[in-house]
Chains A and B, each alone.
Chain A
Amino acid sequence: MNAPERPRPAPALAAAPLVTLQGTGVRFGDKQALQPLQLTLSRGQRLALIGANGSGKTTLLRLLHGLLAPAGGTRQVHPLQPEGRAPRMAMLFQRPFMLNLSVRANVRLALWLAGVAKADRVERCEQALRRVGLQAEARRAAGTLSGGQQQRLALARAWALQPDVLFLDEPTASLDPGAKREVEALVADLGSDGITVVMSTHNLGQAKRLATHVAYLEGGRLLALADTDTFFHAPLPPEATAFVRGENPWL
Chain B
Amino acid sequence: MSESLLLALQLITQADAQLLGIVALSLRVSITACLVGALAGLLLGAWLAVARFPGHGALVWAVNTLLALPSVVVGLAVYLLLSRSGPLGSWGLLFTPTAMVVAQSILVVPLIAALSRRLVADALASGGDELRSLGAGPVMAALLMLVHQRLAVVTVLLTAFGRAVAEVGAVMIVGGNIAGVTRVMTTAIALETSKGDLPLALALGLVLLGVVGLIHGLIGLLPGQQGREAAMGGALA
Contact = CB atoms under 8 A, between A and B. Distances in A.
Do any beta carbons of A and B sit within 8 angstroms of each other in the complex? Answer: yes
Interface of A: 65, 67, 90-91, 93, 95-101, 109-110, 113-114, 141-145, 147, 150, 157
Contact of A150 (B126, B144, B235): B235
A67 B132 contact: yes
**Residue with the highest number of chain B CB atoms closer than 10 Å, among A91, A97, A98, A143:** A97
Nearest to B135: A113
Name the 9 nearest CB pairs between A and B, nearest first: A97-B127, A143-B234, A97-B130, A141-B231, A91-B133, A143-B236, A99-B148, A113-B135, A100-B148
B237 interface: yes
Nearest to B232: A143
A99 B236 CA distance: 8
B94 to A, nearest CB: 44
B51 interface: no
B199 to A, nearest CB: 47
Given A142-B236, A147-B235, 18 more contacts: A65-B133, A91-B133, A96-B130, A97-B127, A97-B236, A99-B144, A100-B147, A100-B148, A100-B149, A100-B236, A101-B147, A110-B134, A113-B136, A141-B232, A143-B232, A143-B234, A145-B234, A157-B134
Given A100-B236, A141-B231, A67 B129 contact: yes
B147 A114 contact: no
B210 to A, nearest CB: 33
A110 B136 CA distance: 9
B147 A99 contact: yes
Contacts of A109: 134, 144
A5 B127 CA distance: 32
A93 B130 contact: yes
18 contacts: A65-B133, A67-B129, A91-B130, A91-B133, A93-B130, A95-B235, A97-B130, A97-B131, A99-B127, A100-B232, A109-B134, A113-B134, A113-B140, A114-B135, A141-B228, A141-B234, A143-B235, A147-B235
Contacts of B131: 97
B126 A97 contact: yes
A100 B130 contact: no
B157 to A, nearest CB: 17
B118 interface: no
Contacts of B130: 91, 93, 96-97
Interface in B110-141: 126-127, 129-136, 140
A6 to B, nearest CB: 20
Contacts of A114: 134-135
